[in-house]
């Protein structure tokens, strides 16, 4: 079964190339595409954080991972399946990040901490509600904390 998804917005920021770390201070503008009404953003300024779903459009089909691999190709990390990591070479090339909403302008959102490069298509925008966040302790392996130590700095 095939699905057709059209971008609803585009990312504009200073990151032109994908870099694995230091995304925390990146300010991005999410600009609605033509055909999406600016009324679609009505009320969004009442939320402090948004979940952004985006498409890794720069990942070639030849780089898609369907099996296990060492995260970031670092042999010091265990080999784990693509669904046990957040790498960009995913079968459907989808990314998801929770960002801080800095400002809402007509047709634009200014956000902080979006780990998507300039020109990335946005698939969806959702408000973060605490009721959708985990209510229990989040567990993760030590290697993932090591991998992420500079990601947001």
Per-residue pLDDT reduced to its tens digit, 32-48: 999 999 999 999 999 99
Render pLDDT for 60-71 as a digit per residue (tens, 0 to 9).
999 999 999 898
Residue 1, domain member (yes or no) = no
Query: Does some domain include residue 4?
Result: no
Look up the pTM and report it: 0.91
Q: Could you tell me if residue 70 is inside a domain? A: yes
Confidence band (pLDDT; 50, 70, 90) for 18? confident
Is 60 a member of any domain?
Answer: yes
In a domain, 18, yes or no: yes
Give domain status of residue 153, yes or no. Answer: no
The CATH number that applies at residue 64 is 2.40.30.70
Domain of 33, in residue numbers: 9-148
Q: What total of structural domains would you count in the chain?
A: 1
Question: Which residues lie across from 27 on neighbouring strands?
Answer: 112
């Amino acid at each position: 079964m095939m699905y057709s998804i059209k971008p609803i917005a585009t990312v504009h920021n200073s990151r032109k190339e994908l870099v694995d770390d230091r995304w925390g201070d990146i300010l991005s503008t999410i600009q609605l595409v033509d055909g999406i009404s600016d009324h679609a953003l009505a009320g969004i300024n009442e939320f402090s954080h948004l979940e952004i779903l985006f498409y890794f459009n720069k990942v070639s089909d030849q780089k898609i991972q369907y099996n296990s691999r060492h995260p970031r190709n670092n042999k010091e990390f265990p080999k784990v399946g693509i669904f046990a990591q957040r790498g960009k070479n995913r079968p459907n090339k989808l990314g998801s990040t929770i960002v801080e909403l800095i400002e809402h302008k007509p047709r634009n959102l200014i956000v902080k901490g979006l780990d998507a490069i300039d020109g990335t298509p946005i698939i969806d925008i959702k408000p973060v509600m605490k009721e959708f966040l985990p209510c229990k302790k989040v567990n993760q392996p030590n290697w993932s904390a090591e991998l992420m130590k500079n990601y947001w700095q």
